[in-house]
């Protein structure tokens, strides 16, 4: 754990290499486990203002052992930041894979996918990079292709996957205008070419046009045909769900490759490694940051439970003289967020179920429910929002889009149309069998609320014997070899590491079992 940019993903890779080395890791499986990283990072990581290679999803890697040899592995992913596909803030980029494709594809391949100059695409905001950066991306693209071959993706599957990504980029350039005759909405004349380009890779033109203009005809948006803004939301929803399904499919394929091939009766031991996004506080914080920071609040509480509560309970149980060490207990913050029926997420679910509810009615509900709560502050000024005093500091959240993102639904008619996609892979990703595979792989992000995904993760954590690796960010400028003592001290304080040092110093460093003691 640690802040965004503190080195969690790099530490995870080093830890995996170390474990494989201890296993004398020469087997093909052990090498494959190490080699899937370029694939996951290309599709799941992006540049943010805090980190040039920020994980925009959480991953839990389960390594299964028999007699100190790795016999299998499984990857579970949590909370992929799908909104990044359609929107990035200043100084940020989309997922790496889009830039790698532009740098690595040949002219003929770009023509096959209908890709033009990267500066034209709204979803990557025209931000491409210098020649040196493009050369580095070209090398990364080759690493991704090698990883796809190694994992076992067929050539046609790789073509289809890149066709979907190219189609998503073209779809992002489709805009809308009012239909003068009947007051409805149509695709603007200026973007008909982009619609055709997207349709050539995703769905037939008429079907795709109908989809983006009608997709949100639902209980909470009855007037969709009269609103270009809602059509743009529909377009973005299609792009997000298509990308999310591709990512989930990649994880499923990796798990098929890494699955253990042993007798079911053989008992395997397990080491799990959790590499999850760090605490975030940007200039603008949205629904995604709330989910990320909630996950970090839960992990901090898990840390407190093991290091302070269980530790001090053990001394009390053995009747050892002990002066209780106080620590910053973040349980009140978790209650604010998770309590039922009046926690923030419960209120969000409640509002999401009302057809007439808006982001403003949701914020009004929060302001009335949490009046006087020391961890909540109403928004100030014109921006619709609120602030939460997290264990790591105060974060101001912009509430626009909270209800839409929490609903995260895809109408049945959309799923049906995608099943008839002209790209075979896209059709496969929306069939019942494919959905069941995603569910079995633990990819609940597509099928359940975000908090359910986190609940499953925390259940896994509490059933394990944990070791905590705390990553400390040396400075806020993303500079190597520079240590800002104030930045470091702040992290040591809010993580509870100063109290941890004290409890370890005052306590007992060696804890033999009675059997070990008697034998000695």
Q: CB of 216 within 8 A of CB of 233? A: yes
**pLDDT tens string 72-88:** 999 998 889 999 999 99
Average pLDDT estimate for 347-374: 94
Summarize the annotated binding site for ATP as residue ranges: 2-9
pLDDT at 433: 53
pLDDT at 108: 96
pLDDT at 374: 96
How far apart, in whole angstroms, are the C-alpha atoms of residue 83 and residue 375?
27
How far apart, in whole angstroms, are the C-alpha atoms of residue 250 and residue 165?
13
Higher pLDDT, 41 or 508: 41
| Buried-exposed string 1-13: b where 16+ CB fall within 10 A, e elsewhere | bbbbbbbbbebbe
The strand ranges marked E within 449-508 are: none
Verify whether residue 4 is a known catalytic residue. Answer: yes
pLDDT at 126: 62
How far apart, in whole angstroms, are the C-alpha atoms of residue 210 and residue 144?
35
Domains and CATH numbers, the chain: 287-405 (1.20.58.530)
Helix, strand, coil share (%) of the chain residues, nearest 5:
55, 10, 35
**pLDDT tens string 320-332:** 888 888 888 999 9
- Please list the residues that pair with 271 across neighbouring strands: 63
How far apart, in whole angstroms, are the C-alpha atoms of residue 248 and residue 153?
14
* 466 has a pLDDT exceeding 80: yes
Verify whether residue 27 is a known catalytic residue. Answer: no
Of the residues 81, 280, 297, 404, only one is catalytic, namely 280
Confidence of residue 409 (pLDDT cuts 50, 70, 90): low
How far apart, in whole angstroms, are the C-alpha atoms of residue 456 and residue 129?
39
Nearest to 44 by CA among 286, 333, 248: 248
Residue in the block written with tokens 């014109």? 382
pLDDT at 448: 61
Q: CB of 170 within 8 A of CB of 197? A: yes
Q: Per this entry, what is the length of the chain?
A: 520
pLDDT at 28: 83
**pLDDT tens string 256-283:** 999 988 888 888 999 999 998 888 898 8
Verify whether residue 432 is a known catalytic residue. Answer: no
Confidence of residue 380 (pLDDT cuts 50, 70, 90): confident
Summarize the annotated binding site as residue ranges: 2-9
Of the residues 54, 191, 293, 406, only one is catalytic, namely 54
Higher pLDDT, 490 or 216: 490
* 344 has a pLDDT exceeding 60: yes
Burial of 430 (0-12, 13-18, 19+ CB in 10 A): buried
Verify whether residue 191 is a known catalytic residue. Answer: no
Average pLDDT estimate for 370-391: 94
Q: CB of 147 within 8 A of CB of 139? A: no
Residues 6+ apart with CB under 8 A from 327: 304, 308, 496, 499
Average pLDDT estimate for 295-310: 89
Q: CB of 124 within 8 A of CB of 87? A: no
Verify whether residue 280 is a known catalytic residue. Answer: yes
pLDDT at 411: 57
Write out the two tokens for 215.
Answer: 């997709």
How far apart, in whole angstroms, are the C-alpha atoms of residue 265 and residue 255?
20
Confidence of residue 489 (pLDDT cuts 50, 70, 90): very high
Verify whether residue 104 is a known catalytic residue. Answer: no
**pLDDT tens string 183-234:** 677 888 898 899 888 888 887 777 677 666 654 444 444 454 445 667 787 7
Verify whether residue 479 is a known catalytic residue. Answer: no
Verify whether residue 55 is a known catalytic residue. Answer: yes
Nearest to 162 by CA among 251, 82, 243, 83: 243
Write out the two tokens for 169.
Answer: 């980029």
Write out the two tokens for 82.
Answer: 């799908």
pLDDT at 152: 86
428-431: list long-range contacts, CB under 8 Å, 24+ apart: 428/249, 429/242, 429/245, 429/246, 429/248, 429/249, 430/245
Of the residues 25, 72, 248, 278, only one is catalytic, namely 278
**pLDDT tens string 412-440:** 666 667 777 778 888 888 775 555 555 44
Confidence of residue 315 (pLDDT cuts 50, 70, 90): confident
Nearest to 161 by CA among 176, 177, 174, 149: 149
The dihedral through the CA atoms of 339, 341, 347, 352 has a sign that is positive
pLDDT at 294: 92
Burial of 35 (0-12, 13-18, 19+ CB in 10 A): middle
Of the residues 12, 45, 48, 51, only one is catalytic, namely 51
pLDDT at 419: 77
């Amino acid at each position: 754990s640690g802040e965004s940019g503190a080195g969690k993903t790099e530490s995870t890779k080093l830890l995996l290499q170390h474990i494989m080395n201890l296993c004398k890791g020469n087997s093909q499986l052990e090498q494959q486990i190490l080699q899937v990283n370029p694939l996951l990072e290309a599709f799941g990581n992006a540049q943010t203002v805090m980190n040039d290679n920020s994980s925009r999803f959480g991953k839990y890697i389960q390594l299964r052992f028999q007699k100190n040899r790795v016999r299998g592995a499984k990857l579970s992913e949590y909370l992929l930041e799908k909104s990044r596909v359609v929107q990035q803030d200043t100084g940020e980029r989309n997922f790496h894979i889009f830039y790698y494709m532009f740098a690595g594809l040949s002219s003929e391949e770009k023509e096959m996918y209908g890709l033009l100059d990267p500066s034209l695409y709204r979803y990557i905001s025209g931000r491409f990079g210098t020649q040196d950066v493009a050369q580095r991306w070209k090398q990364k693209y080759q690493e991704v292709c090698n990883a796809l071959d190694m994992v076992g993706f067929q050539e046609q599957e790789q073509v289809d996957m890149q066709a979907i990504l190219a189609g998503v980029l073209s779809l992002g350039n489709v805009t809308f205008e009012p239909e003068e005759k009947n007051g409805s909405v149509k695709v603007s004349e200026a973007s008909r070419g982009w619609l055709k380009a997207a349709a050539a890779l995703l769905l037939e033109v008429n079907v795709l046009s109908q989809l983006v203009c009608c997709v949100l005809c639902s209980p909470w948006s009855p007037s969709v045909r009269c609103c270009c803004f809602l059509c743009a939301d529909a377009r973005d929803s299609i792009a997000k769900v298509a990308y999310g399904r591709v990512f989930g499919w990649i994880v499923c394929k990796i798990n098929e490759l890494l699955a253990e091939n042993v007798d079911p009766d053989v008992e395997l031991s397990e080491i799990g490694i959790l590499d999850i996004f760090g605490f975030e506080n940007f200039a603008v914080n949205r629904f995604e940051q709330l989910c990320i920071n909630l996950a970090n609040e839960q992990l901090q509480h898990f840390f407190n439970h093991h290091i302070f509560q269980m530790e001090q309970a053990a001394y009390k149980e053995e009747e050892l003289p002990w002066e209780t060490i106080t620590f910053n207990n973040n349980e009140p913050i978790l209650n604010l967020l998770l309590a039922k029926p009046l926690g923030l997420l419960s209120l969000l679910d409640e509002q999401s179920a009302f057809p007439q509810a808006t982001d403003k009615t949701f914020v009004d509900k929060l302001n009335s429910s949490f009046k006087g709560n020391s961890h909540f502050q109403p928004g100030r000024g014109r921006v619709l929002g609120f602030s939460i005093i997290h264990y790591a500091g105060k974060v101001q959240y912009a509430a626009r889009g909270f209800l839409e993102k929490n609903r995260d639904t895809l109408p049945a008619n959309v799923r049906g149309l995608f099943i008839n996609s002209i790209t075979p892979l896209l059709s496969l990703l929306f069939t019942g069998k494919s959905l069941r595979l995603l569910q079995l792989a633990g990819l609940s992000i597509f099928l359940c609320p975000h908090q359910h995904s986190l609940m499953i993760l925390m259940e896994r954590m509490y059933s394990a014997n944990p070791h905590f690796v705390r990553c400390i960010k040396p400075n806020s400028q993303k500079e190597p070899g520079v240590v800002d003592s104030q930045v470091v001290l702040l992290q040591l304080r809010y993580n509870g590491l100063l109290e941890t040092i004290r409890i370890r110093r005052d306590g007992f460093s060696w804890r033999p079992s009675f059997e070990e003691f008697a034998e000695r």
